[in-house]
């Protein structure tokens, strides 16, 4: 099936028929016929188009705890969707088959309107719709329209995000989101720069912004990579920041890494390491600590 690009939002014209994408914090300057860093936003004759609006690459009926959200509608099902592309460059990506793939005309992707997705969610008995799997920022137009349709149908909206979104776009999308899990990759600028081709500071600003909005539920996830972002001083700096800015009631998830994509030099995260971090966070006063991707998450 041939893909049919849709007009994008959050961009402006620049000189020489180039466009400036304002969706995420990269603010890509895109020449005619080229795409942004994410691989799914293209300059066509001086206008920006999204190549993934209406073309989910993954649809699934999930338990809400899989997002992971343990304190929002527990025990319910969530209708999850994701597309292709990502605005980060994580060398350790655990889902690169979606995030590191760009859509092409010959891809067998079927078009689903926002209204059709909502009908599917209702038919599946889901209480919410999740924008997840790859980075939802890169399909923000699709997520925005689907979230509106979901809200009209009485469904809640869930965002699983890396937080690398412009304030301009977040200010429009976030009011439609009821719960979010933000993936904080590692609590240092060096980690973000060398492992994700990004920056930590704006992610923290995104987390703070979502947390200040009334009626929102927030949980955070940190994928722990041995030798890269597991140093005690980094974990303590993260806990210091979370306690000061979000409070000790915010649920924190620490998940095990498995070698994947372009980074395989670190071993899988030992369960004992995750459990030690979990105990330490609990001793620091955090009430809700959850461990993921290990056989026995109790600690």
Looking at residue 244, which CATH number applies to its domain? Answer: 3.20.20.70
Question: Mind listing the pLDDT tens digit for each residue in 186-218?
Answer: 999 999 999 999 999 999 999 999 999 999 999
Query: Do 246 and 103 belong together in one domain?
Result: yes
Structural domain span for residue 80: 58-292
Query: Do 19 and 78 belong together in one domain?
Result: no
Query: What is the structure's pLDDT at 16?
Result: 87
Query: Do 151 and 202 belong together in one domain?
Result: yes
Does this model's pTM top 0.85? My answer is: yes
Query: Do 133 and 185 belong together in one domain?
Result: yes
CA pair distance 294, 299, nearest whole angstrom: 11
Question: Is 1 a domain residue?
Answer: no
78 touches 130 (CB < 8 A)? yes
Query: What is the structure's pLDDT at 105?
Result: 60
Query: What is the structure's pLDDT at 170?
Result: 98
What does the buried/exposed string (b/e) look like for 183-202 if buried means 16 or more CB atoms within 10 Å of the residue's CB?
Answer: bbbbbbeebbeebbebebeb
Question: Is 233 a domain residue?
Answer: yes
Among 82, 77, 83, residue whose Cα is nearest residue 64: 77
CA pair distance 299, 279, nearest whole angstrom: 7
- CA distance to 54, 65, 150, per residue, from 153 (Å): 19, 22, 5
Query: Do 184 and 278 belong together in one domain?
Result: yes
| Domain end call among 50, 67, 82 | 50
Residue segments in the chain with a per-residue pLDDT below the cut of 50: none
264 touches 288 (CB < 8 A)? no
Query: Do 21 and 89 belong together in one domain?
Result: no
Output the six-digit token pair for 113.
Answer: 């309107």
Query: Do 140 and 236 belong together in one domain?
Result: yes
9 touches 166 (CB < 8 A)? no
Task: List the alpha helices (DSSP H) in 28-155.
Answer: 96-99, 114-123, 140-152
- Work out how many domains the chain is built from and give that number: 2
Question: Is 10 a domain residue?
Answer: yes
What lies within 8 Å, CB to CB, of 283 at 6+ separation is none
Query: What is the structure's pLDDT at 270?
Result: 97
Question: Is 102 a domain residue?
Answer: yes
Q: How many CB atoms lie within 10 A of CB 238?
A: 22
- Do β-strands 11-13 and 19-21 pair in parallel, antiparallel, or remain unpaired? antiparallel
Query: Do 146 and 34 belong together in one domain?
Result: no
Query: Do 40 and 106 belong together in one domain?
Result: no
Question: Mind listing the pLDDT tens digit for each residue in 134-176?
Answer: 999 999 999 999 999 999 999 999 999 999 999 999 999 999 9
Query: Do 137 and 261 belong together in one domain?
Result: yes
Query: Do 88 and 168 belong together in one domain?
Result: yes
Question: Is 299 a domain residue?
Answer: no
CA pair distance 170, 140, nearest whole angstrom: 9
Question: Is 77 a domain residue?
Answer: yes
Query: Do 114 and 231 belong together in one domain?
Result: yes
């Amino acid at each position: 099936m041939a893909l049919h690009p849709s007009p994008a939002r959050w961009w402006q014209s620049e000189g020489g028929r180039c466009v400036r994408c304002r969706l995420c914090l990269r603010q890509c300057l895109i020449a005619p016929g080229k795409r942004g860093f994410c691989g799914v936003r293209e300059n066509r004759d001086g206008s920006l188009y999204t190549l993934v609006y209406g073309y989910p690459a993954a649809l699934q009926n999930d338990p809400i705890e899989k997002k992971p959200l343990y304190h929002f509608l527990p025990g319910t099902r969530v209708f999850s969707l994701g597309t292709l592309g990502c605005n980060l460059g994580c060398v350790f990506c655990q889902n690169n088959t979606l995030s590191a793939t760009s859509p092409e005309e010959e891809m067998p992707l079927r078009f689903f309107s926002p209204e059709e997705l909502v009908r599917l969610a209702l038919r599946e008995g889901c209480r919410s719709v999740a924008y997840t799997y790859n980075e939802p920022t890169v399909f923000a137009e699709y997520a925005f329209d689907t979230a509106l349709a979901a809200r009209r149908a009485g469904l809640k909206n869930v965002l699983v995000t890396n937080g690398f979104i412009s304030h301009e776009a977040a200010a429009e999308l976030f009011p439609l989101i009821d719960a979010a899990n933000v993936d904080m990759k590692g609590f240092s600028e060096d980690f973000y720069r060398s492992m994700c081709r990004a920056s930590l500071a704006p992610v923290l600003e995104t987390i703070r912004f979502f947390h200040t909005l009334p009626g929102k539920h927030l949980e955070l996830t940190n994928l722990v990579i041995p030798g890269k972002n597991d140093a005690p001083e980094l974990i303590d700096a993260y806990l210091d920041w979370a306690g000061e800015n979000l409070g000790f009631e915010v649920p924190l998830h620490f998940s095990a890494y498995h070698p994947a994509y372009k980074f395989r030099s670190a071993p899988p995260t030992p369960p004992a390491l995750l459990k030690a971090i979990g105990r330490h966070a609990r001793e620091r006063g955090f009430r809700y600590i959850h461990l993921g991707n290990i056989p026995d998450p109790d600690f």
